[in-house]
């Protein structure tokens, strides 16, 4: 829903076949209500189709028969090019980690694609292949990398400055890491106020900058010999903005690019360039970036999947584990105070109120969605939720996140829980980046997924998961994991796991 001009509100929705519709209303509530109703109808229709397909696939009890029903998956042939806007702590920890694992120097701990398994069939069947053996993912040896940054440091220099990984490990990887140098970035200081750098593209308009990024993408594909590409935003958190009319359609967005509309952030220009080139895009920061109607339109049109936003790593990971436990046991919550100290460049960027507001919005949504105060007013109708991030240089990338949680139980008796997570931000983020790269590439090779736009099954990895307009996101980590694994089962024509289990007692 958006406001076209005073007193004119537009409802925007997609039907079950992926066609976009738009209708005019005189009130915002009318437009929003209409949009929600139509979106829910489209979902119901799509879900009923999926159930019919699933019924056909599980009816005979034979596995793999449903592969025709569930579409096709192209093989992962050739190299997969990973393009990263923002070659800072997360990006370098990811790339150095992949190279260390390829050389046998370390293990891919924390990565579902590398270490996780999927149970198939009944608990008594004893079939639990590794994820990477169950679905055809690109191998680590097939990954090739490039990136953009406003600083000129190559990956070795940037990783050394980030100070996340041991210098002895980085020195062992030096020739490889030094070979990945940043391309000049598309940057706007107004969107990231705390930093500035020399390695920046120049152009008369934002459209011209987008064209330069598209040239980079084509050049990288050619020079690296990659058969497929993925863009993974690991750039700084941009200042908070809300969608405007410029973000509502491809036509409006391109006009805004030509006219240098200030509401187009650099991350959106990378996303536009990637999707125009048919390259999937994942957003690791809380910026709007691809969470916009124009990007959904482009993603569906060019069959380039999108997902985001904001990697779910430390404090929010804990929140999405603990909050579902409170709700499961119907324990009340009166307050949750979260604070962090963080000393890396990300912490410095988040010290700016505009960038912090973007992060705050992303972190705050979680509890409301998990606890559903509308359904449980006595338990969650009155909770106080506060999130702070404090820049504290001595800690570097080693963030400390404290949570004070005030809960109440039987007869309203209060209790407290304290969590003190001494984590390493980029160590938690790197395996998420790897999984997203491999799964987004998989999505583009699956006939069932590539035209959907948003890949909601990847919500598992995000603080603020994207959904189609009108659909609330799933934040509960374990629901998200079930959704992800069931999607993999579905793609391979395996029975979905419901955990009903009555058949064991027949």
Ligand X SMILES: NC(=O)c1ccc[n+]([C@@H]2O[C@H](COP(=O)([O-])OP(=O)(O)OC[C@H]3O[C@@H](n4cnc5c(N)ncnc54)[C@H](O)[C@@H]3O)[C@@H](O)[C@H]2O)c1
Query: Binding ligand X by CB under 6 A: which of 73, 185, 290, 296?
Result: 185
Is 236 a binding residue for ligand X by CB under 6 A? The answer is yes
Q: Which stretch binds ligand X (CB under 6 A): 30-38, 192-200, 243-251, 437-445?
A: 192-200
Is 391 a binding residue for ligand X by CB under 6 A? The answer is no
Q: What is the DSSP string of 316-367?
A: HHHHHHHHHHHHHTT-EEEEEEEEEEE-SHHHHHTTSHHHHHHHHHHHHHHH
Q: What is the DSSP string of 204-270?
A: SSHHHHHHHHHHHHHHHHHHHTEEEEEEEE-SPPPPP----GGGSSHHHHHHHHHTT-TT--HHHHH
Q: Which is nearer to ligand X, 192 or 294 (CB)?
A: 192
Q: How far is the CB of 287 from ligand X (least distance, A)?
A: 7
Is 431 a binding residue for ligand X by CB under 6 A? The answer is no
Is 183 a binding residue for ligand X by CB under 6 A? The answer is no
- 168: alpha, beta or left, given left = phi > 0 and alpha = psi -120 to 50? alpha
486 token code pair: 């069931």
453 token code pair: 């736009």
Question: Nearest-CA neighbor of 454 among 247, 319, 275, 286?
Answer: 275
Is 433 a binding residue for ligand X by CB under 6 A? The answer is no
Q: Which stretch binds ligand X (CB under 6 A): 4-12, 54-62, 82-90, 109-117?
A: 82-90
Query: Binding ligand X by CB under 6 A: which of 81, 85, 136, 396?
Result: 85
Q: Which stretch binds ligand X (CB under 6 A): 10-18, 146-154, 275-283, 403-411?
A: 146-154
Is 345 a binding residue for ligand X by CB under 6 A? The answer is yes
Q: Which is nearer to ligand X, 294 or 389 (CB)?
A: 389
Q: Which stretch binds ligand X (CB under 6 A): 124-132, 137-145, 231-239, 292-300?
A: 231-239
Question: To which residue do tokens 């997924």 refer?
Answer: 449
Q: Per CB under 6 A, which of residues 92..131 are in contact with ligand X? A: none
31's enclosing H/E stretch is helix 28-59
Q: What is the DSSP string of 257-309?
A: HHTT-TT--HHHHHHHHHHHTT--EEE-SSS-TT-SHHHHHHHHHTT--EE-S
Is 284 a binding residue for ligand X by CB under 6 A? The answer is yes
Q: Per CB under 6 A, which of residues 289..328 are in contact with ligand X? A: 310-311, 313
Compute the 3-state secondary structure of the chain and give helix, strand, coil in percent, each to the nearest 5. Answer: 45, 20, 35
- Structural contact between residues 460 and 481, judged by C-beta atoms closer than 8 angstroms: yes
- Structural contact between residues 70 and 491, judged by C-beta atoms closer than 8 angstroms: yes
- Structural contact between residues 159 and 92, judged by C-beta atoms closer than 8 angstroms: yes
Q: Which stretch binds ligand X (CB under 6 A): 37-45, 329-337, 345-353, 489-497?
A: 345-353
Q: Which DSSP letter does residue 502 get?
A: G
Q: Which is nearer to ligand X, 12 or 310 (CB)?
A: 310
Q: How far is the CB of 421 from ligand X (least distance, A)?
A: 12
Q: Which is nearer to ligand X, 249 or 340 (CB)?
A: 340
Question: Nearest-CA neighbor of 229 among 240, 253, 213, 211?
Answer: 213
Q: Which is nearer to ligand X, 248 or 320 (CB)?
A: 320
Q: Per CB under 6 A, which of residues 258..277 are in contact with ligand X? A: 266
Is 186 a binding residue for ligand X by CB under 6 A? The answer is yes
Q: Which stretch binds ligand X (CB under 6 A): 129-137, 251-259, 343-351, 402-410?
A: 343-351
Query: Binding ligand X by CB under 6 A: which of 112, 135, 137, 428?
Result: 428
Q: Which stretch binds ligand X (CB under 6 A): 43-51, 89-97, 118-126, 297-305?
A: 89-97
Is 360 a binding residue for ligand X by CB under 6 A? The answer is no
Question: To which residue do tokens 């009108």 refer?
Answer: 470
Query: Binding ligand X by CB under 6 A: which of 54, 112, 144, 192?
Result: 192
Is 354 a binding residue for ligand X by CB under 6 A? The answer is no
Question: To which residue do tokens 């829910």 refer?
Answer: 40
Q: How far is the CB of 403 from ligand X (least distance, A)?
A: 16
Size of the site for ligand X (CB under 6 A): 36
Is 425 a binding residue for ligand X by CB under 6 A? The answer is yes
Q: How far is the CB of 164 from ligand X (least distance, A)?
A: 9
Looking at beta carbons, which residue is closest to ligand X?
88
CA distance linking residue 154 with residue 394, whole number of Å: 24
- Structural contact between residues 346 and 236, judged by C-beta atoms closer than 8 angstroms: yes
CA distance linking residue 182 with residue 87, whole number of Å: 7
Question: Nearest-CA neighbor of 95 among 423, 434, 424, 462?
Answer: 434
Residues that bind ligand X (CB under 6 A): 85-91, 148-151, 162, 185-187, 192, 195, 197, 234-237, 266, 284-285, 310-311, 313, 344-346, 349, 425-426, 428-429
């Amino acid at each position: 829903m958006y406001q076209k001009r005073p007193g004119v509100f537009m409802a925007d929705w997609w039907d079950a076949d992926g066609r976009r519709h738009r209708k005019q209303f005189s009130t915002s509530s009318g437009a929003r209500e209409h949009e929600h109703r139509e979106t829910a109808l489209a979902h119901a229709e799509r879900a009923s189709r999926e159930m019919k397909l699933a019924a056909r696939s599980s009816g005979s009890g034979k596995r793999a028969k449903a592969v025709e029903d569930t579409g096709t998956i192209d093989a992962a042939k050739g190299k997969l090019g990973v393009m990263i806007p923002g070659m800072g702590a997360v990006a370098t920890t990811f790339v150095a980690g992949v190279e260390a694992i390829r050389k046998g120097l370390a293990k891919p701990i924390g990565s579902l694609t590398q270490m996780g398994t999927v149970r198939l069939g009944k608990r008594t069947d004893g079939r639990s292949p590794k994820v990477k053996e169950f679905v055809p993912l690109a191998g680590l040896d097939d990954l090739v990398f490039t990136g953009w940054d406003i600083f000129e440091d190559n990956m070795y220099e940037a990783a050394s400055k980030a100070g996340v990984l041991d210098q002895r490990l980085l020195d062992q990887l030096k020739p490889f890491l030094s070979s990945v140098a940043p391309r000049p970035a598309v940057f706007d200081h107004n969107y990231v106020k705390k930093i500035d750098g020399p390695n920046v593209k120049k152009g008369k308009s934002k459209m011209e900058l987008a064209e330069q990024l598209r040239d980079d993408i084509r050049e990288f594909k050619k020079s690296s010999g990659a058969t497929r590409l993925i863009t993974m935003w690991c750039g700084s958190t941009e200042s908070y903005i809300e969608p405007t009319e410029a973000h509502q359609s491809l036509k409006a967005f391109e006009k805004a690019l030509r006219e240098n509309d200030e509401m187009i952030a650099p991350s959106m220009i990378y996303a536009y360039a990637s999707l125009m080139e048919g390259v999937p895009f994942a957003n690791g920061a809380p910026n709007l970036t691809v969470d916009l109607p124009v990007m959904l339109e482009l993603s569906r049109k060019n069959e380039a999947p999108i997902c985001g936003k904001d990697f779910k790593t430390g404090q929010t990971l804990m929140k999405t584990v603990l909050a579902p436990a409170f709700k499961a046991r119907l324990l009340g919550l009166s307050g949750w105070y979260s604070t962090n100290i963080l000393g890396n460049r990300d912490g410095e960027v988040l010290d700016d109120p505009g960038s912090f507001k973007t992060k705050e919005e992303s972190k705050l949504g979680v509890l409301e969605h998990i606890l559903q105060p509308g359904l449980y007013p006595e338990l969650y109708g009155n909770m106080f939720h506060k999130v702070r991030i404090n820049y504290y240089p001595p800690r570097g990338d080693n963030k400390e996140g404290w949570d004070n949680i005030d809960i109440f139980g039987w007869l309203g008796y209060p209790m407290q829980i304290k969590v003190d997570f001494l984590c390493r931000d980029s160590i938690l983020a790197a395996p998420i980046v790897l999984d997203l790269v491999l799964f987004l590439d998989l999505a583009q090779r699956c006939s069932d997924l590539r035209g959907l736009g948003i890949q909601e099954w990847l919500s598992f990895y995000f603080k603020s998961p994207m959904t189609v307009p009108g659909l609330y996101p799933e934040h509960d980590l374990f629901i998200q994991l079930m959704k992800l694994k069931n999607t993999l089962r579905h793609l391979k024509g395996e029975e979905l796991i419901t955990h009903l289990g009555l058949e064991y007692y027949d």
